[in-house]
Amino acid sequence: MGVAGRSGIRITASEVRLDLRGFSVVGVTGAVDGIVVQPPTGSTRRNIAIHDGGVAGWPGAGLAANTTTVNGLRLERVTFSGNGSDGARVPSATIITDCHAIGNGGEGFTTNEGAVMTSCSAVQNSSTGINAQINSRLDACSASGNGGSGFNLGPSVIAKDCQSSGGLHGFSTFASGIILESCVAAGCSGNGFDLNLNTVLRGCIAYSCDGTGFRINRRSRLIDCVSFNNITGGIQVIDGNHITGCICTGNGASTSANGPGILLTGTDNRVEACCLDGNGTGLVASAAGNFIARNTASGNAVVNWNIVANNKCLVVAGVNAPAINGASGGVSPGSTDPNANYSY
């Protein structure tokens, strides 16, 4: 048990391995942080490992490691729960595996530069679930029911196979150079993916969010992503983005605003080979100078296409084919232009 006015465990040396052996370091009223990694003034420390146990109920952070004088921290199979501040604040080059942050009063996990997180979860923390800073990597991590966004991402972060549910935004950043692959955002009160610029998303899904499934500013790529049943809209971008092979269905259809499957508010965007059905509006381009090709739209509530002048776009009403039974038959869907968009 902790002692008022003090932290639970203080690590000041290098080459330390703290095996909790399945037990928890438990705080008391008036105590400080659970585990502190703090070298003496003017010193640096490295190669510290903490594993197999819990850190719970501390008024401060569960784990507070100095972010400038500690390197090479490793956390494995540790649960940080019910602490008054962040679950774990870790320094550069930290490796975090099979760890969990549950019900902490701040963020679940806050990393510094170059962290690697694998199979970790952040649940019902008061602020952001996982705050991953510059050059960090996240694999198979999840965030659920946090007070802020599930994931807040710094520059050049890579996230793969991660899931976010509830909270504000699923994945959020003001930074650039981010790669997201096979990530899912669901049930957010804001946007599923709320991103800035120079970002690549591949095979990601956003659904049942109160905002837009994917809201991205500039110079980014969305490849083979799916956005469905989001309240405000499916995909919204500004300038210089490339959207290809995406599916947007059922977005904006449940509100009087009739939100779009895809909304282009700026110029120099390319939208190609996307499917738009059952949205409030199919595709909206409110600015000129976009290239829109080989997309299909069907059954959108207001119109399938709402595109201002001076965009590069051909829309054709699809032609129905007769029944086909055999090795040949049918008709051209309505155009021989390989870049035509179709309503059907």
CA–CA separation, 75 and 25 (whole Å)? 15
CA–CA separation, 230 and 210 (whole Å)? 6
Sign of CA dihedral 226, 230, 234, 239: negative
Task: Read off the pLDDT of residues 183-233 as tens digits, 9 standing for 90 and up.
Answer: 999 999 999 999 999 999 999 999 999 999 999 999 999 999 999 999 999
Q: How confident is the model at residue 101 (pLDDT cuts 50, 70, 90)?
A: very high
3-class state of residue 9 by DSSP: strand
Please say if the pLDDT value at position 310 is more than 80.
yes
Please say if the pLDDT value at position 256 is more than 80.
no
Q: What is the pLDDT of residue 137?
A: 99
Query: What pTM was computed for the model?
Result: 0.95
Residue corresponding to tokens 């003001």: 174
Domain map (residue ranges) of the chain: 1-148, 185-344
Q: How confident is the model at residue 266 (pLDDT cuts 50, 70, 90)?
A: very high
Please say if the pLDDT value at position 138 is more than 70.
yes
Please say if the pLDDT value at position 320 is more than 90.
yes
Please say if the pLDDT value at position 66 is more than 90.
no
Sign of CA dihedral 232, 234, 240, 241: positive
Q: Evaluate whether 236 touches 263 at the Cβ level (below 8 Å).
A: yes
- Burial zone of 294 (CB within 10 Å; 0-12 exposed, 13-18 middle, 19+ buried): middle
Q: What is the pLDDT of residue 1?
A: 66
Neighbours of 33 (CB within 10 A): 28
* Average confidence (pLDDT) over 133-153: 99
Closest CA to 139 of 197, 200, 84, 98: 98
- Give the chain's mean pLDDT: 97
Q: In Å, how far from its chain's centre is CA 230?
A: 15
3-class state of residue 162 by DSSP: coil
Q: What is the pLDDT of residue 68?
A: 81
* Average confidence (pLDDT) over 335-341: 96
CA–CA separation, 37 and 73 (whole Å)? 9
Beta partners for residue 18, in sequence order: 50
CA–CA separation, 146 and 120 (whole Å)? 14
Please say if the pLDDT value at position 253 is more than 90.
no
CA–CA separation, 140 and 129 (whole Å)? 14
Closest CA to 126 of 99, 144, 104: 104
The four Cα atoms 31, 32, 37, 38 give a dihedral, to 10 degrees, of -110
Residue corresponding to tokens 């760890």: 99
Q: Evaluate whether 69 touches 87 at the Cβ level (below 8 Å).
A: no
Integer-rounded Cα radius of gyration of the chain: 24
CA–CA separation, 91 and 238 (whole Å)? 35
> Taking CA 196 as the corner, what is the angle to CA 190 and CA 199, rounded to the nearest 5 degrees?
115
Please say if the pLDDT value at position 264 is more than 70.
yes
Q: DSSP string spanning 271-284?
A: EES-EEESSSEEEE
Q: Evaluate whether 217 touches 198 at the Cβ level (below 8 Å).
A: no
